[in-house]
Amino acid sequence: MKTIWNFTGARALVAGAGGIGSAVTEALADAGADVVVLDRDPAGLAGLARTGTEKAGGTVRGLNTDLTSAGACRDAVADAVGYLGGLDVFVHAVGANDRRPVLETPDEVWERIVAINLSSAFWLGRAVGEVMVPGGYGRVVYLSSVSGLLAHRDHAPYAATKGGVNQLMRVMAREWAPHGVTVNAVAPGYTETDLTRAYLAKPGMRASMEALVPAGRLGRPGDLVGPALFLASPEAAFVTGQVLYADGGRTLV
Ligand SMILES: NC(=O)c1ccc[n+]([C@@H]2O[C@H](COP(=O)([O-])OP(=O)(O)OC[C@H]3O[C@@H](n4cnc5c(N)ncnc54)[C@H](O)[C@@H]3O)[C@@H](O)[C@H]2O)c1
């Protein structure tokens, strides 16, 4: 694919081979990066894998892992760093949601959403920082959400974890700024991926969600690529601790 980005020689780790993680992985590889992508779903990983000889640009290698434990996250980063020979870029694009009122949210739902959305952000980010900080360079990008700012009903664990990711990101940004490592977040509005597919299929839901967006449409995975790659690029050296809303104006209204 034609790209304005140049990530030739960059070593990137992307957690999440879903709609947004796949789009970012392909864009990084198209721009020349070698990418390791993590997911628990082998089908998503298989679709992304490529060698440098198959397509122009860099390589993509999938690593099948469940990221809901500290040990799995640490091992995944160690594997990726060993394979890539270092790490320049980390993008956290795993996530899950479970829509229900607070009073109908059992402990296991809370714990599952916190583990994948927030704890994996800490465990992976910490392991990535252990490589990037001593190395004196790094770009970390978290996928947050408009739900980290707005109080959507039926989103308690999801919203809490996205607000948590924003603050985790800001503290990492402050601690790692002296070491050439920036940490930022991209916050999408409603985007058409597996995460939202069943919800949008409910009668009237798509139209009511679109009506909330000044741009008049929902997001597509490609809408997040430019914001994520900018923050992952050397050009974003003086941008850190920021949440970049890519939401068609959803948070303006
Ligand atoms: N789609 C949206 O509307 C939207 C809006 C705002 C923020 N986001 C955020 O963007 C990020 C990517 O979302 P998406 O839309 O691509 O979702 P998606 O459902 O398409 O992809 C999420 C991926 O995470 C993987 N995953 C889930 N649990 C895992 C686990 N325990 N271990 C390893 N992998 C696991 C899934 O297999 C899937 O491939 C998430 O952080 C999400 O919260 C999405």
Q: State the Cα angle at 188 between 122 and 86, rounded to 5°.
A: 45
State in Å: Cα 178 to ligand 1 middle.
31
Residue 120, pLDDT score: 99
Catalytic option among 142, 158, 190, 245: 158
Indicate which atom in ligand 1 lies nearest the CA of residue 117.
41
Domain 11-244 CATH assignment equals 3.40.50.1820: no
The predicted pLDDT at position 56 comes to 85
pLDDT at 198: 94
The C-alpha angle 142, 17, 54, rounded to 5 degrees, equals 120
8 A C-beta contact, residue 179 and residue 133: yes
Question: Which pLDDT does position 1 carry in this prediction?
Answer: 62
Tokens coding 104: 């109908």
Residue 220 Cβ inside 6 Å of ligand 1? The answer reads no
Cβ–ligand 1 contact at 148 (below 6 Å) = no
Q: Is any atom of ligand 1 closer than 6 Å to the C-beta of 190?
A: yes
**Where on the phi/psi map is residue 16: left (φ > 0), alpha (ψ -120 to 50), or beta?**
left
Residues 6+ apart with CB under 8 A from 198: none
Q: Is 157 in the pocket of ligand 1 (CB under 6 A)?
A: no
Instruction: Specify the DSSP class assigned to residue 100.
Output: B
Total Cβ atoms within 10 A of residue 196: 18
Q: Candidates 24, 143, 155, 251: which one to mutate for ligand 1, based on the most atoms within 8 Å of Cβ? A: 143
Residue with tokens 């929902």: 218
Q: Residue 90 Cα, ligand 1 centroid: separation in angstroms?
A: 15
d(CA 148, CA 93): 15
Please indicate whether residue 57, judged by its CB atom, sits closer than 6 Å to ligand 1: no
Closest ligand 1 atom to residue 68 Cα is: 31
Query: How confident is the prediction along the chain (253 residues), in pLDDT tens digits per residue?
Result: 668 999 999 999 999 999 999 999 999 999 999 999 999 999 999 999 999 888 889 999 999 999 999 999 999 999 999 999 999 999 999 999 999 999 999 999 999 999 999 999 999 999 999 999 999 999 999 999 999 999 999 999 999 999 999 999 999 999 999 999 999 999 999 999 999 999 999 999 999 999 999 999 999 999 999 999 999 999 999 999 999 999 999 999 9
The rounded distance, in Å, linking the Cα atoms of 129 and 240 is 14
| Distance from residue 92's CA to the centre of ligand 1 (Å) | 9
Report pLDDT for 53: 86
Candidates 38, 94, 116, 143: which one to mutate for ligand 1, based on the most atoms within 8 Å of Cβ?
94
Based on the residue annotation, tell me whether 83 is a catalytic residue of this protein: no
Please state the atom number of ligand 1 nearest to the C-alpha of residue 146.
6
Q: Given this model, what pLDDT does residue 174 score?
A: 98
Spell out the domain ranges in the chain: 11-244
DSSP assignment of 8-59, as one string?
TT-EEEEE--SHHHHHHHHHHHHTT-EEEEEES-HHHHHHH-B-TTTSSS--
Nearest to 120 by CA among 220, 233, 13: 13
Q: Is the CB of 58 under 6 A from ligand 1?
A: no
Centre of ligand 1 from the C-alpha of residue 179, in Å: 29
16 CA to middle of ligand 1, Å? 6
